[in-house]
Amino acid sequence: MARKPPEDPSTSQFTEDWSKEFRSHCSDYVQLAFITSCLFIFVGGIIMILMVRVIRSLLHKWSLKYSIHFQLFTNKMNSLSVWKGKFQDRVVMMISAQTSIGRILVILVFLFSIGSLILYFINCYSVKEFCLTFEDQTIVIDLFFNVFFLLHFGLRFLAASDKLAFWLELNSIVDFFTITPVCIAFYLGKNWLGLRFLKALRLVELPKILQFLQVTTSGTAIKLSKLLAVFVSTWLTAAGFLHWMENSGDPWVYHSNHQNLTYFECLYLIMVTMSTVGYGDVVVQTTIGRVFILFFIVAGLILFANLVPEIADIVGSRRVYMGTYVYVKGRKFIVVCGNITLSSVTAFLSDFITQDKGDIACEIVFLGE
């Protein structure tokens, strides 16, 4: 009976170290498969759109030069364009916010995006590995969300008059780098946390959703919701990118400088960086992370210095100047409405007080938004 040859201790140690390293974070091949697939779809789509434009331009020139030979072809193209225009108009009406179906689609996309983002938070909190095994039950739910996103992306693409401009929109880029990895996850049997944080950019659509639901009706409330949406989406997205970089490590040093930072530690680090506090208890180790922080300090400082005081001013002014007027019988009052600003109020009061009207005992009520 043949005996099994003894294992080489060095080989066994290498296999154990490699397995441990692979479990701790994604290997180069796994990350490369996800990233290149997203870039291939994005760049390939741009090339295809440009090729179609060039072909259409050449066909148009040839039809003008050889009008007799291309007469039949031109008639077919014109009939096809008419059919395409009617179909495109129907799709536009279906997904536009002016129809009930379009509003439902927009609201569902936003809710599913928030749901997908919540799943990302859950996975970041519940697992220590940056690559998740595909047996995770949340993957099925996230897959359902992404199938819906893919269908909505197709409708938006059909409705877009300028395909290239649509391809370069923020929502389209988010779809490229979040939907495509789901297909790769099926093939590799692993799901990647890397770019799923981009779903946070969907929060920019929050003011529009609140207007659809008639939650925000005044101009002040709409402005406040826009400021909060920009601030929160920037915060979550920056933390997600830092979480990806720090857990992956720099590729040129074979990920030897990676560290196990949780997503919530990255949120804390980004907030401390934007507020210029800088406790130093959580720091970045990777070169990519340090370069990102270097540029984000400037952008975050501008964002923090502009948005936070403006948000505080809106909230404070609502508390001081907004309220209800209680009418008291026998008391005179004047209602002022229109464009209520500091300059308009100052001009009105100056004109009202300086005029010779005698002794006037009345209250002035400014009717604003």
In a domain, 243, yes or no: yes
In a domain, 68, yes or no: no
In a domain, 13, yes or no: no
Verify that 205 and 179 share a domain, yes or no.
yes
Verify that 301 and 251 share a domain, yes or no.
yes
In a domain, 298, yes or no: yes
pLDDT at 51: 93
In a domain, 200, yes or no: yes
Question: Tokens standing for 113?
Answer: 């995006």
Distance CA 238, CA 181 (A): 20
Verify that 241 and 304 share a domain, yes or no.
yes
Verify that 184 and 43 share a domain, yes or no.
yes
pLDDT at 237: 92
pLDDT at 168: 92
* Nearest residue to 311 (alpha-carbon basis) of 367, 236, 231, 251: 231
Distance CA 122, CA 5 (A): 46
Contacts of 109 (CB under 8 A, 6+ apart): 148, 149, 152, 202
Verify that 106 and 242 share a domain, yes or no.
no
pLDDT at 77: 55
Verify that 312 and 344 share a domain, yes or no.
no
Distance CA 283, CA 269 (A): 8
pLDDT at 152: 87
Verify that 136 and 94 share a domain, yes or no.
yes
**HSE of 126 in the Cβ direction (CA atoms, 13 Å)?**
11
Could you give the number of structural domains in the chain? 3
pLDDT tens digits for 21-43? Answer: 444 445 667 778 788 888 999 99
Asked if 247 contacts 259 with a C-beta cutoff of 8 angstroms, the reply is yes
In a domain, 74, yes or no: no
Verify that 208 and 253 share a domain, yes or no.
no
Contacts of 133 (CB under 8 A, 6+ apart): 189, 190, 191
The CATH number covering residue 261 comes to: 1.10.287.70
Residue ranges of the chain with per-residue pLDDT less than 50: 1-5, 7, 9, 11, 14-25
Verify that 211 and 286 share a domain, yes or no.
no
Verify that 127 and 156 share a domain, yes or no.
yes
pLDDT at 27: 62
DSSP 21-85: HHHHS--HHHHHHHHHHHHHHHHHHHHHHHHHHHHHHHHHHHHHHTTTTTHHHHHHHHHHHHHHH
Helix (H) or strand (E) holding 340: none
pLDDT at 4: 43
In a domain, 16, yes or no: no
In a domain, 63, yes or no: no
Which of 215, 248, 270 is a domain's end point? 215
Q: In whole angstroms, how far apart are CA 352 and each of 24, 321, 328, 366?
A: 73, 20, 22, 14
Q: In whole angstroms, how far apart are CA 321 and each of 313, 337, 363, 369?
A: 12, 14, 15, 11
Verify that 90 and 231 share a domain, yes or no.
no
Per the structure, the complete domain to which residue 346 belongs is given by 332-367
Verify that 236 and 145 share a domain, yes or no.
no
pLDDT at 49: 92
